[in-house]
Structure 1
Amino acid sequence: MKELIGTGVALITPFTEDYKVDTEALTRVVNFNIENGIDYLVVLGTTAESVTLSKSEKQLVIDTIIAANNSRIPLVLGIGGNDTRAVINEMQERDLTHFAAVLSVSPMYNKPTQEGIYQHFAAIAQMAPKPIILYNVPGRTASNMLPETVIRLANDFESIVAIKEAAGDIVQAMRLISGCPKDFLVISGDDMVTLPMVLAGGAGVISVIGEVFPKEFSQMVRLGLDKKAVEAYKIHYKIAPAIDYIFAEGNPAGVKAVFNALGICGPTVRLPLVGVSENLKAKIDSFVASF
């Protein structure tokens, strides 16, 4: 899965002011990222507000991104949830022709044991028509997929090829990198620790900040993969304040505020999310203007 090495971005779903999917803005977002060096695109992840999209809206988002991408770079589709049967059914029902892999989040809300997490992904792995990227994000799921569980899955199922590790714990990340099979990809899911993870042997990132500063962030990751730490950290510290800003009042409200400042799409999010405060908007606007 060499196509998953480098910088992937978790695409937003732009909305019009009346909360409809803004396909023109989504096309601009896709082109902006491809033209500025992003290696692959992740469709219908958390940042896409996928839990607020209807079935027909999800298909509209998928179709729009496929058309805009025009086979230029690989695509990854987010299909996950806390009902194992429903996840398997969606994977089998969707047309995955245009996708290199599926990103599947660890079950949220149920708070399964480590054995439950293992059995969830074991069932998916045996039925999935595409390679699987595990997604560990304890801040959203309320459970941490431990390295022992990931290593077990990586060794037991060839179809499980990578993990998006978003615990924000560099020690846990290093345990994954050292313990998983050599060809298994440990991908950062936390923008602030992406560079340390890459320098430690990680395969890259699935980023949020990367979609608004794609040229700079993807260059940082390339330098990290080449072990050029000094040059890479110069970019990291330049972007770091914006990473704090975009998550200060929740994702994707923050990153949409950056896109708004860039003039690429509006800031609208769907309830229960709300847009950023005027104070944070002023900080974001100022950062973008001076970047």
Structure 2
Amino acid sequence: MALATIGNSEFDRDTAVVRRAPGVYDAHLAAGWTIAQAVNGGYLLALVGRALGDALPHPDPSSVTAHYLTASVPGPAVIRTEVVRTGRTMSTGTATLVQFTEDGTEIERLRVLAAYGDLDALPDDVRTSAKPPAIPPREHCPGPDSAPGGRASVPGGTSFAERIALRLDPATAGWAVGAPSGKGEIRGWFGLADGREPDPLSLLLTVDALPPTAFELGLSGWVPTVELTAHVRRRPAPGPLRVALTTRNLAGGFLEEDAEVWDSADRLVAQARQLARVRLTG
């Protein structure tokens, strides 16, 4: 079977937007990207990111901050964008994603502030102390089908899991067999199930696509994102991505989660931090 390509994949079709008027876009939130009946936050970020990429003069997301106001559901949505500032190398815009109830009441789901630039124009100079996460080879890392009961046993159901190619580091997958490590770390290999290669837009999905670190802390249930900021640092090379999530502090029913995304050329291509709520029962 031929692999999907950028621009011709399920991800691209499901993040498509149609410009209705200047700055206003129609979209459809696809049911396949849901977790526990709510639409995944990374998918929403990519969807809004596509609309902003059309509205702004620069092509690539650099910094995208989203506040998740209410849980999104599959179905029609409207994205409204505004160009805040346009410069020579970067532009800034805002976006809101809204849905409507049966009686026509508008509900705002997501509010975004983003800076866009041109990743291909960045200098090659890199000075970093960051190192790629140490993850066993993909063939030694379990996927959703390896969990007891298969994909159906993955928290949140199978819809989202069927659209990604995820293999977790066994050292951070104890939660799947009832033996969480308690360390607040999740690491794994990531890609899209249809073989589409990563690009800057799909990185917005990637930073919020792994199981939450709360699972390795021995907690279960939905972990809704309150706020997420993603930084896209480089255009990723073809091939699987390595993703590392960590949390250092769970307090008052909230935790922070830091994400690093590394490409097949051992480059740090995206980072993110989010604040999420957790259910404090095992």
Structure-2-length-normalised TM-score: 0.26
**Structure showing the higher strand proportion among its residues:** 2
Structure-1-length-normalised TM-score: 0.25
**Structure showing the higher helix proportion among its residues:** 1
